Chains A and B, each alone.
Chain A
Amino acid sequence: MKKRTWLSMLLVLVLMFSLLAGCGSPAEEPAETGEPSEEPAEPSEEDVVITVAAGAVGQELELTQMAAQMYMDDNPGVVVEVLDTPDLAQDRLGLYLQFFEAQSSEVDVYQIDVIWPGDLEEHFVDLYEYGAEAVVGEHFPAIVENNTVDGRLVAIPWFTDAGLLYYRTDLLEKYDLDPPETWEELAQQAQVIQQGERDEGNQDFVGFVWQGDAYEGLTCNALEWIASNEGGTIISPEGIITINNENAVEMIDMAATWVGTISPEGVTGMAEEDARAIWQGGNAAFMRNWPYAYSLGQEDDSAVKDRFDVSPLPAGANGEPAATLGGWQLAVSRYSENPEIAADVALFMASYDMQKMRAVDGSLNPTIMDLYEDDDVLEAAPFFGSLYDVFTNAVARPSTASAPNYNAVSTAFFRAVHDVLNGNLDAATAFEELELDLQDITGFDIE
């Protein structure tokens, strides 16, 4: 009897362990089981799979896949796979964090936002150890600086971004207007054009579209308004909370008046692609967006082909035009099984030729300075030359000063602005509360 009890308990344990082992192995050793089936043409034990987590806004994914194919053509034995990731930056960050928490080797190369190196630095290798030294000098120093944490280069710059004003050349001509230089001018012109087009029968025409949904994009838009009116950058580089000032309040209150007048009510639910859809359908006079929308607007199926141009964003009453610095970098995961090859892929994708291809085909701004003098690039995207200063002088979000709390800071900020835009609060009240919220999050002093 007793013997049998023990036997049955033993059997139970054996069963449990075999079950656990059964669950565990595929996740732990994906490379072994995955490799042979990945490349049926050339099944070889030597094949290495490198997965690149990349964005898919506009043509990004297509361009990354092209680069991956080129790398594979040059390097037999390496399979580069591109993982499509969510469009909204926060959603993408959420996905990445889950990989990091699990210390997963599933993704080798990550496309990371310009605001993340400080927060995520511990999960990436130092690219200086993998030969980045030789190429780093070609890139914009400010971005390299941004990507360097404690002397470690955690990511190689891939493309940079700055907010631009897209305007319809045909409509400005029709209504005899010049591109606006201040926000006030923009609002007036948008009103005139919107009224005129609607009177002519296009009921869906709107004056100005931008990114007003409650997400990182609104932080970028609102920072541009505030910085262009001498209202600071939410938190100063020295770590002082500056958001609650007259210039900032004035600008946000002004933006709130756009909603439902020159911009549709729905603008407070729009991200980049929503704005571009309206713009590219020919239903907006002005749009604030990143450079990627340029080449898409020039495609054959676009209603605004050859009928628009870009300029720096307007300025506030008290300041100079400002554009938020955006852009994406490539970082190599510390949990990668083949960091050398992964780093090689990352450096290849960020190389002169690849950045040139992305600039010509996708109007994605290179981070390599020489490319702004390249004839092919300038022919495809003439504004790269004329707006060079906008790209080099773009305003950075306070991600370095507030690391590792930048996401919380930005969320508090865009939610406050979103409340004002929706008419629930006035900007003065919202920012009075916001500055205390930011103090709670960061512990910084208020100006």
Chain B
Amino acid sequence: MKKHRKSNFAKREERTAYKLLVPALIILLLIAIYPLGQVFYTSFTDRQFASGQETEFVGFDNYRRLLSVTVQQLEPLVDEETNQIVIDDETGNTVYERPIDVLPRDPIRYREYRQFSLMGNQYVLGATDVDFIDAIKNTVVFTVTSVFLELVLGLGVALVVNSNFKGKGATRTAMLIPWAVITVVSARMWEWMLAPNRTGMFNMLLDRFGLTDGSIAFLASSSFQLPAMIAVDVWKTTPFMALLLLAGLQTIPDELYEAAAIDGAGPVKQFFSITFPLLKPAMAVALIFRTLDALRVFDVFQVLLGQSEYSMATYNYFQLIGNRNMGLASAIGVIIFIIIFGFAIIYIKSLGVEMDETS
């Protein structure tokens, strides 16, 4: 703003500053921009991983293969003899054409993702890569649920360890243990606890209380897979959330609470009028950290679910390592990058975080 009044000395200093920044910029260019650019480039080719095969440029084919979706209407089946619409005898519902006969096959084949009805018509939603669409869905559900639970539980933990009591230091240290355990190790621990027979802790407890016969396959049956992943992640990352929120809580001066108490505000009122608004910046940072982290979730899914259910990152890994489709895997990487980027922008806008206070 005061540029035109800058002294010669200031200008010289500025130049020196830029010069000093050069090494950092070059390093950034080499270790961040270059590999990222490489991934972008590879995503437009059909490169094979660990193979001497010739690579060809294929344009947007990889993206088309991953993201194409279509909606087709399913016509009710008509009996050829009576010209009547076929009704299922058992359920009394109209029978529709089968999606596999309706979905287009050329030039890329669409697979059935979901069926839904709208205004009395039956539709099928088809996707070229059902697994990837599922992976996105799994990752988003996982992220939203686990981050929300972590926020609520983390806030509770932070409020407790922020208050004054005997053994506060020890409690704060103990609280961090799950966070300190390597994810692969904690995933294995959970794998044993979730074992599908009574050797697993959960099945043993459920059986002890007479709720089930102690043979729930938490990691193999589709309805328990995502909840199990969320449980593992919440267990592991709540301490981290609590730590970030605790740091925020400690910046709130005690005087505010004293003044509020004198004015007759109860604990609930104090929480919503003082703690919550003043904690918002710390909460925003914690949320962004956790959300971006959760969107990239890999280890828990890879160790516990392997090939039976994917997150975006494990699907990426499978395409690269399992199927050796380096081009396609790069395209997945780019899509993950864009999705995470989108989430970051939404957060920054909606929480009103000032990323740079001085500008």
Residue numbers of A with Cβ under 8 A of B are 5, 8-9, 12, 15-16, 88, 90, 93-94, 97-98, 100-101, 122-123, 203-204, 212-215, 264-269, 278, 404, 407-408, 411, 414-415, 418, 422, 424, 432-433, 436-437, 440
| Contact assessment for A90 and B307 in the assembled complex, using a CB-CB cutoff below 8 Å | yes
Pairwise interchain contact A93-B321, C-beta atoms closer than 8 A: yes
Q: Are A265 and B323 in contact (CB under 8 A)?
A: no
A269 touches B217 (CB 8 A): yes
Given A12-B26, A422-B220, are A269 and B321 also a contact pair (CB < 8 Å)?
A: no
Nearest chain A CB to B48 CB, angstrom units: 8
**By the criterion CB–CB under 8 Å, are B51 and A411 in contact?**
no
Known: A204-B198, A266-B196. A5 touches B19 (CB 8 A): yes
User: B residues bordering A, Cβ < 8 Å?
Assistant: 19, 22-23, 26-27, 49-52, 100, 105, 109, 111-112, 195-198, 213-217, 219-222, 306-308, 317-318, 321-324
B23 engages A90 (CB within 8 Å)? no
Q: Select one of B195, B217, B307 contacting A411, CB under 8 A.
A: B307
Residues of B within 8 A of A203 (CB): 198, 213-214
Q: Return the contact of A264 from the options B217, B222, B318 (Cβ within 8 A).
A: B217
B222–A266 touching, CB < 8 Å: no
A408 to B215, CA, bound (A): 32
Instruction: Report the bound CA distance from A101 to B48 in whole Å.
Output: 10
- For A424, give the chain B residue with the smallest CB separation: B222
Q: Which of B49, B112, B195 contacts A101 (CB 8 A)?
A: B49
Q: Report B318 CB to chain A, min CB distance, Å.
A: 8
Q: Is the beta-carbon distance between B52 and A266 smaller than 8 angstroms?
A: no
Instruction: Give Cα distance in the complex from A440 to B128, angstroms.
Output: 11
Are the C-beta atoms of B324 and A266 separated by less than 8 Å? no
With A15-B23, A97-B324, A214-B307 known as contacts, the answer to whether A266 contacts B50 (CB < 8 A) is no
Given contacts A213-B220, A436-B100, 18 further A-B pairs with CB under 8 A are: A90-B306, A90-B321, A101-B49, A123-B50, A214-B306, A264-B197, A265-B220, A266-B220, A267-B196, A267-B220, A268-B220, A269-B219, A269-B220, A404-B51, A404-B324, A411-B323, A414-B307, A433-B111
User: Looking across the interface, which residue of chain A has its beta carbon closest to that of B15?
Assistant: A5
B195-A94 in contact (CB<8A): no
Give Cα A101 to B52, complex, Å. 9
Is the pair A265, B215 in contact by a Cβ cutoff of 8 Å? yes
Known: A214-B308, A265-B216. A122 touches B221 (CB 8 A): no
Query: Which residues in A have their C-beta under 8 angstroms from that of B214?
Result: 203-204
A12 touches B217 (CB 8 A): no
- A122 contacts B52, CB within 8 Å? yes
Chain A residue nearest in CB terms to B19? A8
* Interchain CB contact (< 8 A) of B51 among A122, A204, A440: A122
Complex Cα–Cα for A213 and B225 (A): 13
- A97 and B19 alpha carbons, distance in the complex (Å): 42
Assess A265 versus B307: contact at CB under 8 Å? Given A16-B23, A122-B51, A407-B323.
no
Give, as a whole number of angstroms, the nearest-CB distance from A281 to chain B.
9
User: Which residue of A has the minimal Cβ distance to B220?
Assistant: A269
Provide the residues of chain B in CB contact with A268, threshold 8 Å: 217, 220-221
Find the B residue at minimum CB distance from A11. Answer: B23
For A267, what are the chain B residues with a Cβ–Cβ distance below 8 Å? 196, 220
A215–B306 CB distance below 8 A? yes
Q: Are A266 and B195 within 8 A (Cβ)?
A: yes
Separation in Å of the B138 CB from the closest CB of chain A?
15
* Residues of chain B lying within 8 A (CB to CB) of residue A269: 196, 217, 219-220, 308
Complex interface: chain A residues within 8 A of B216 (CB): 265
Shortest CB-to-CB span from A11 to chain B, Å, is 9
**Contact residues in B for A16 (Cβ distance below 8 Å):** 23, 26-27
**A88 adjacent to B306 (CB under 8 Å):** yes
The docked-state distance in angstroms from the alpha carbon of A214 to that of B216 is: 18
The 5 closest A-B pairs by CB, nearest first: A266-B196, A269-B220, A94-B321, A214-B308, A100-B50
Q: Verify B321–A215 contact, CB threshold 8 A.
A: no
Q: Collect the chain B residues with CB atoms within 8 Å of residue A411's CB.
A: 307, 318, 322-323
In the complex, A12 Cα to B321 Cα: how many Å?
A: 38
CB distance from B256 to the nearest CB of A (A): 49
| Chain A residues whose CB sits within 8 angstroms of the CB of B306 once the complex forms | 88, 90, 213-215
Contact flag A265-B100 (CB < 8 Å), given A97-B321, A411-B323: no
Q: Select which of A12, A212, A213, A278 is within 8 A of B197 by beta carbon.
A: A278
- Contact check, A433 vs B217: say whether CB atoms are below 8 A apart: no
- A253–B213 Cα gap in the complex (Å)? 25
Query: Min CB distance, B71 to chain A, in Å?
Result: 19
CB of B315 to closest CB in A, whole Å: 12
Q: Is the CB of B26 within 8 A of A408?
A: no
Q: How far is the CB of A2 from chain B (nearest CB, A)?
A: 12
Report Cα–Cα, A278/B197, bound state, in Å.
10
User: Which of B100, B105, B308, B324 makes the CB contact (< 8 A) with A432?
Assistant: B100
Bound together, the chains give a CA A323 to CA B356 distance in angstroms of: 66
Closest to B317 in A: A94
Residue with the highest number of chain A CB atoms closer than 10 Å, among B22, B26, B217, B317: B217
In the assembled complex, which residues on chain B have CB atoms less than 8 Å from the CB atom of A432?
Answer: 100
Q: B196: which A residues are within 8 A, CB to CB?
A: 264-267, 269
* Contact partners of A9 in chain B: CB under 8 A: 22
Q: Which residues of B lie under 8 Å from residue A15 when comparing CB positions?
A: 23
What are 28 A-B residue pairs whose CB atoms fall within 8 Å in the complex?
A16-B23, A88-B306, A90-B306, A90-B321, A90-B322, A97-B50, A97-B321, A101-B50, A122-B51, A203-B198, A204-B214, A213-B220, A214-B306, A214-B307, A214-B308, A265-B196, A265-B221, A269-B196, A269-B220, A404-B51, A408-B322, A411-B307, A411-B318, A411-B323, A418-B308, A424-B222, A433-B112, A436-B105
Contacts of B100 in A (CB 8 A): 432-433, 436
B28 CB, nearest partner CB in chain A, Å = 12
Bound CA span A101–B216, Å: 41
Instruction: Tell me the bound Cα distance from A266 to B199 in angstroms.
Output: 12
CB-nearest residue of chain A relative to B223?
Answer: A422
Complex: A97 Cα to B48 Cα, angstroms: 11
Q: How far is the CB of A87 from chain B (nearest CB, A)?
A: 12
Cα–Cα, bound, A267→B19 (Å): 63
CB distance from A279 to the nearest CB of B (A): 13
Q: Which residues of A contact B317 (CB under 8 A)?
A: 94
**Nearest CB to that of A4 among chain B residues?**
B19
How many angstroms between the C-alpha atoms of A269 and B215 in the bound complex?
A: 12
Question: What is the CA–CA distance of A19 and B131 in the complex, to the nearest angstrom?
Answer: 42
* Contacting pair B323 A266 (CB below 8 A): no
Complex contacts, B318 vs chain A, CB 8 Å: 411
For the complex, what is the distance from the CA of A264 to the CA of B197, rounded to whole Å? 8
Please determine whether B23 and A440 come into contact, CB atoms closer than 8 angstroms. Answer: no
Q: Is the CB of A422 within 8 A of B19?
A: no
CB distance from B340 to the nearest CB of A (A): 24
Would you give the shortest CB distance from B108 to chain A, in whole angstroms?
Answer: 8
CB distance from A123 to the nearest CB of B (A): 7
**Other-chain residue from A98, A266, A437 in contact with B215 (beta carbon distance below 8 A):** A266
